[in-house]
Amino acid sequence: MPVTYSRSSDVGHQRRHLHPHKTRKYSLQEGGRIGLDAERRPLTGPLDEPLAEADQDELRSHRSDDPRALRRHKIQPRGSTVHVSRKDGGDKAQNIFSESTLKKMYDHSPHSVFVQLDELLATEDGDAEWKETARWIKYEEDVEEGSARWGKPHVASLSFHSLLNLRRCLETGVVLMDLDEKDLPGVAYRVVESMVTEGLIEEDDKPVVMRSLLLRHRHVHDDRFRFSISGRKQSYTSLQNLADQRRRRSSYALPLERLEARKKSSAAALDMREVEYLATTAVGSQDELRKGHNDILKRIPDDAEATTVLVGAVGFLDQPTIAFVRLAQGILMPSITEVPIPVRFMFILLGPTTADLDYHEVGRSISTLMSNPSFHSIAYKADDRRELLSAINEFLDDSIVLPPGDWERQALLPFEELRAKSEMIRRRKRDAIERKRAASTVAPLLDEKKALLAAETGGMPEKEPDDPLSKSGRLFGGVIRDIKRRYPYYLSDFRDALNGQCAAATIFMYFAALSSAITFGGLLAEKTDRQIGISETLVFTCVGGLFFALVAGQPMMITGATGPLLLLDDALYVFCRSYGFNFLAARMYCGLWMIIIALCVASIEGSVAVKKITRFTEDIFAFLISLIFISEPITNIINVYRSHPLGYDYCQNDTEITNNATLTPPTLNSTDAGNITSTPAPLVHQAVIPPQPNTALFCTMLTLATFIIAYYLRIFRNGKFLGRSARRALGDFGVPIAIVLMVGISCLVPVWTEKLQVPDGLSPTLSRSWLVPLNPGLETIPLWATFAMVLPALMVYIIVFMETHIAELIIDKPERRLKKGSGFHMDIVIMSLVNSLCGMFGAPWQCVATVRSVSHVSALTIMSTTHAPGDKPHIVEVKEQRLTGLLVAFLVGISVLASSWLRLVPMAVLFGVFLYMGISALGGIQFWDRCILLFKPVKHHPQIPYVRRVPTMKMHLFTIIQLAGICILYAVKSSRFSLALPFFLVLMVPLRMALVYIFTPLQLRALDGAQKDIDQDDEPDFYVEAPLPG
């Protein structure tokens, strides 16, 4: 039913009824009238005078109205909310539908919100205009004064006094629910009429208030410098100027036909002879507007609706006037909002300059409330002002009050404690509501409950996915379940790869995999006296990668040689040499035993044991590998200084002398070998290089420069210079860039350095057949040793098991939103089968490389670009497919044909890459962070869970226990029993289980639980995310 007003020409008589003795409804001086009683005001005055006939008819028409929600607020016993509808057709709708039916015709479901705060300010020419001063998508953004740009998003801090003033405004102001208007003048007209009806303004104030609401709105982008012939600013004190401006910037104008209808509808309407509405068309289309605001539009969800907050001080009012409006449906008002999205809510606050009211702070308060999910959900569903006031109470209950004072240090505001306190408050209120619901499941929800539960309800919870590490109780049940879960997506794994994201990921991962293969292949050649070298590493990185990408349950993982497996090969080589066994023959038997062990473990679903490997064991293993990665380059540099010592007695001719010696491959020391080009020919009469001047210093420079360039490009990736794409490109290709630069310097500087030894073509590093059984050496393995090789095979399987499963656990995190499943049970069998092939062909052991796999998944991850300013980017989707892994493996394989280029790489450069891997991995090891805390005073400890929840001495005890485990493992690695290193690593699991007798469950959860998310503006670093280096 439409709200109608008296059409009597006796304006004074009407004002006498509405405003007896000019008594106002709102008064800031009435400090005690904060509750709902302030809404009730007595009607005093000459009520016994006879009414005019027109007034009596009008009064009878109002008394005959039946729906309570549509009555005029002045005669309601409690609420003062007015539900209004359009005048044309409203009476007909009233006779057909009830109030509840009318309410259901409108969309009351909560939408995403965009809030804009405009303040009424004077221009340089003395005119007035609405100027945008702040906006909210999720967090507050303020306009930087003088620079005409937006500041950084931040959590809005509100004064308690402004929130009380806002509550008082909503208690005494106009609240219009489901106002059915189609443009700004129509909304302003209804608001002004309701203000007069509620006694907030005088009848004479209607034209000036109307003009104020229709003044020009200036946004931030309007203040940018632009070339213009006419520099004079327009005045907006009349609607004529508003209509003129619309020709240039799509402002609203009211059609002439609607103006005439308004004139006829009410004798108390504005004197429209002062203004003129022109029916003109908008200059720009919505597409053009969206193009101009593309930067902010992509941060606003598609279904968002705007809230416009208009506050300001004027000189023609002597008391504040307030209106809260919820429109029946969103209306596009391009002249009002910064971006072309529908406006659903409006809050208006105008008042005198002398009022004890901070208009800006009250505007910030209602804007912050409307950006709060709980409050704006209630605002969409509220029936009257009581629910809005109840929602404010809930907002205050969830708020944290900071005491006044001078805060000089940022550390005085502990962010973690504030967040924990806020979460505790919400959790306590949720528990209280649940207890009330359990006690009375039939009783309807109160308004307070509705306010609290609005943000909590999100429909039925989603069905939790099946746990891939749960036992099925069947023989090979885990492998069968992985196959059934993953292989139905096999064709889509290739279709989903046909996009630019996967092409870019392929290029990036090729250089990352090639750098790692060259590094580990070159070091393995040195450790095994070139029985396994770069050619075997490149070829079987290709073969293993192709096979794994084709049949694996998680094909996004990248396989290749890793540091822990390189250590095992080194230990196995020392073991075989000490017992006189042929190294390649022994590895062949290890590979055969590995596939048997893998099948036995998979048959009983042994992969579920990976859940026993906690951060305690991961940190010990990761720190040990990092320590070895760091010590190896140092040891190599020391050996270079021994072979090429610094001295003053170098003779010019000594550098040209070479001594020929017949060397057998098993005893060749790569440190003493010269710059030799390896061919399949027998390695005899190799040139022995005498000590060279400047070699040691130059190798030191190459190692350190490679490390520094790669390390600081990694830091630059998450820095603030250049754009995000440029930073990511430089950071992701840091290692290849460092290698290429140092190789170029090595070629330009005439100083001898040891280079990689790579044979031509697809030939093994030594002169042998690819298949190990076709080479002599099997007779060196006795029968008992054939069965004894099950122990080294078990050690290799333990490392492959740990690295593969740890990498798969990282990739399969719930926040990545993977949809095609994983292959915990199946992938370890596939990797063991690949390693059996590697043993047959004398290739290095293959495993899932944790850092490379995390880098690959990150390259395939699409991050959000529409998140609210100030929010962390979240994962939208991951391109789950097989093609990138196939292409990367293939490209690494054909790189063996570029042997002439690979022979230019100095060994010192590879040790620089090794040093980079070791130091970079320390950033993701919590044990290393706690080691640093051993040397810091307690007052300088960061506010992180294991510091706040664990006593300092117990935290240090936990660190010392891990340090003791690392020392034991390093001692084993350095002894003749180094091949048993994985066995001692497995013993760290029962050691961790025994810690329950020293630490409480809460303390262990803080020390050994999942790492807390790190607040970063950019994507996390690969080495921080991956616990294992290499």
> Which pairing describes strands 149-150 and 321-332: parallel, antiparallel, or unpaired?
unpaired
Highest mean pLDDT among 27-31, 522-526, 542-546, 920-924: 542-546
Residues 119-148, mean pLDDT to the nearest whole number: 85
**Position 784: which residue type?**
W
- The sign of the torsion formed by the CA atoms of 148, 152, 153, 155 equals negative
Residue appearing with tokens 């092409």: 503
What DSSP assignment string belongs to 226-287? ---S--PPPP-SSHHHHHHHHHHH------HHHHHHHHHH-TTS--TTS--------SS-HH
Residue 107 — left, alpha, or beta (φ > 0 → left; ψ -120 to 50 → alpha)?
beta
Cβ atoms within 10 A of the Cβ of 310, count?
A: 23
Residues 733-755, mean pLDDT to the nearest whole number: 90
Report the b/e string of 488-499 with b at 16+ CB within 10 A.
ebeeebeebbee
Residue 261 has pLDDT above 60, yes or no: no
Q: Per DSSP, what are the bridge partners of residue 142?
A: 134
Q: How far is CA 360 from CA 34, 132, 365, in A?
A: 21, 11, 9
Angle at 951 between CA 948 and CA 955, to 5 degrees: 95
Q: Write out pLDDT tens, residues 92-114.
A: 334 434 444 444 577 888 888 89
Highest mean pLDDT among 24-33, 524-533, 937-946: 524-533
Question: Which pLDDT value is given to residue 155?
Answer: 86
Cβ atoms within 10 A of the Cβ of 1013, count?
A: 9
How many residues does the structure list for the chain? 1030
Question: Which pLDDT value is given to residue 265?
Answer: 39
Question: Which pLDDT value is given to residue 346?
Answer: 93
Angle at 322 between CA 316 and CA 327, to 5 degrees: 125
**Position 766: which residue type?**
L
Residue 711 has pLDDT above 60, yes or no: yes
**Position 986: which residue type?**
V
Residue appearing with tokens 């009424």: 120
Q: Strands, E, within 53-173: which ranges? A: 81-83, 113-122, 128-136, 140-144, 149-150
Question: Which pLDDT value is given to residue 297?
Answer: 81
The residue with greater pLDDT, 61 or 898, is 898
Question: Which pLDDT value is given to residue 408?
Answer: 67
Please enumerate in sequence order all residues whose Cβ is within 8 A of that of 131, keeping only pairs 6 or more positions apart, or say none: 118, 119, 120, 121, 217, 218
Question: Which pLDDT value is given to residue 463?
Answer: 52
Tokens of 138: 């999720």
Residues 1008-1025, mean pLDDT to the nearest whole number: 62
Please enumerate in sequence order all residues whose Cβ is within 8 A of that of 177, keeping only pairs 6 or more positions apart, or say none: 81, 82, 83, 84, 326, 382, 383, 384
Separation between Cα atoms, residue 396 and residue 382, nearest integer Å: 18
Question: Which pLDDT value is given to residue 650?
Answer: 61
Question: Is residue 658 helix, strand or coil?
Answer: coil
Separation between Cα atoms, residue 905 and residue 747, nearest integer Å: 9
pLDDT category of residue 467 using cuts at 50, 70 and 90: confident
Q: For the whole model, what pTM was predicted?
A: 0.74
Residues 367-393, mean pLDDT to the nearest whole number: 90
Residue 904 CA to chain centroid, in angstroms?
42
pLDDT category of residue 944 using cuts at 50, 70 and 90: confident
Tokens of 823: 């292959």
Report the interhelical angle of 1001-1008 vs 615-643 (nearest 10°).
Answer: 40
Residue 680 has pLDDT above 60, yes or no: no
Separation between Cα atoms, residue 786 and residue 591, nearest integer Å: 11
Question: Which pLDDT value is given to residue 303?
Answer: 84
Question: Which pLDDT value is given to residue 256?
Answer: 33
Question: Which pLDDT value is given to residue 357?
Answer: 86
Q: How far is CA 71 from CA 59, 80, 188, 263, 304, in A?
A: 12, 10, 21, 24, 31
Separation between Cα atoms, residue 625 and residue 84, nearest integer Å: 72
Residue 435 has pLDDT above 90, yes or no: no
Q: Phi, psi at residue 633, to the nearest 5°?
A: -60, -35
**Position 527: which residue type?**
K
Question: Which pLDDT value is given to residue 709?
Answer: 94
Is residue 532 within 8 A of residue 844, CB to CB? The reply is: yes
End-to-end CA distance of the chain: 73
Nearest alpha-carbon partner for 965 in 927, 1008, 930? 927
Question: Which pLDDT value is given to residue 500?
Answer: 87
Name the H helices within 580-651: 583-603, 615-643
Which helix (H) or strand (E) segment is 352 a member of?
strand 342-352
Q: Write out pLDDT tens, residues 788-831.
A: 999 999 999 999 999 999 999 989 888 888 888 888 999 999 99
Is residue 209 within 8 A of residue 128, CB to CB? The reply is: no
Question: Which pLDDT value is given to residue 223?
Answer: 54
**Position 227: which residue type?**
F
Report the b/e string of 249-265 with b at 16+ CB within 10 A.
bbbbbbeeebbeebeeb
Question: Which pLDDT value is given to residue 176?
Answer: 92
Please enumerate in sequence order all residues whose Cβ is within 8 A of that of 382, keeping only pairs 6 or more positions apart, or say none: 177, 326, 388, 391
Question: Which pLDDT value is given to residue 775?
Answer: 86
Question: Is residue 751 helix, strand or coil?
Answer: coil
Query: Which percentage of the chain shows pLDDT scores above 90?
Result: 31
DSSP 648: S
Question: Which pLDDT value is given to residue 604?
Answer: 92
Q: Write out pLDDT tens, residues 273-298.
A: 333 333 333 333 444 444 445 677 87
Separation between Cα atoms, residue 830 and residue 803, nearest integer Å: 14
Name the H helices within 528-562: 534-551
Is residue 828 within 8 A of residue 804, CB to CB? The reply is: yes
Question: Which pLDDT value is given to residue 988?
Answer: 92
What DSSP assignment string belongs to 171-215? HHSEEEEEE--SSHHHHHHHHHHHHHHTTSS-GGGHHHHHHHHTS
| Range name among 49-53, 181-185, 405-409, 674-678 with the lowest pLDDT average | 674-678
Is residue 990 within 8 A of residue 829, CB to CB? The reply is: no
pLDDT category of residue 557 using cuts at 50, 70 and 90: very high
Nearest alpha-carbon partner for 183 in 191, 172, 175? 191
Q: Write out pLDDT tens, residues 748-765.
A: 988 888 888 888 878 888
- In three state form, how does the secondary structure of 837-851 look? HHHHHCCCCCEECHH
Separation between Cα atoms, residue 227 and residue 522, nearest integer Å: 63
Separation between Cα atoms, residue 13 and residue 690, nearest integer Å: 117
Angle at 771 between CA 766 and CA 776, to 5 degrees: 70
Please enumerate in sequence order all residues whose Cβ is within 8 A of that of 692, keeping only pairs 6 or more positions apart, or say none: 644, 655, 751, 752
Is residue 13 within 8 A of residue 47, CB to CB? The reply is: no
| Range name among 82-96, 117-131, 560-574, 786-800 with the lowest pLDDT average | 82-96
Separation between Cα atoms, residue 985 and residue 260, nearest integer Å: 88
Residue 367 has pLDDT above 70, yes or no: yes
Q: How far is CA 239 from CA 224, 253, 261, 266, in A?
A: 25, 8, 18, 20
Is residue 859 within 8 A of residue 508, CB to CB? The reply is: yes
Mean per-residue pLDDT of the chain: 77
Separation between Cα atoms, residue 418 and residue 616, nearest integer Å: 29
Tokens of 14: 């009407």
Question: Which pLDDT value is given to residue 311?
Answer: 93
Residue 651 has pLDDT above 70, yes or no: no
| Range name among 38-47, 349-358, 598-607 with the lowest pLDDT average | 38-47
Separation between Cα atoms, residue 721 and residue 730, nearest integer Å: 11
Separation between Cα atoms, residue 691 and residue 642, nearest integer Å: 9
Separation between Cα atoms, residue 511 and residue 505, nearest integer Å: 10
Count of alpha carbons within 13 angstroms of residue 473, beta-carbon side? 0
The residue with greater pLDDT, 437 or 46, is 437
Residue 8 has pLDDT above 80, yes or no: no
Question: Which pLDDT value is given to residue 91?
Answer: 42
Cβ atoms within 10 A of the Cβ of 745, count?
A: 16
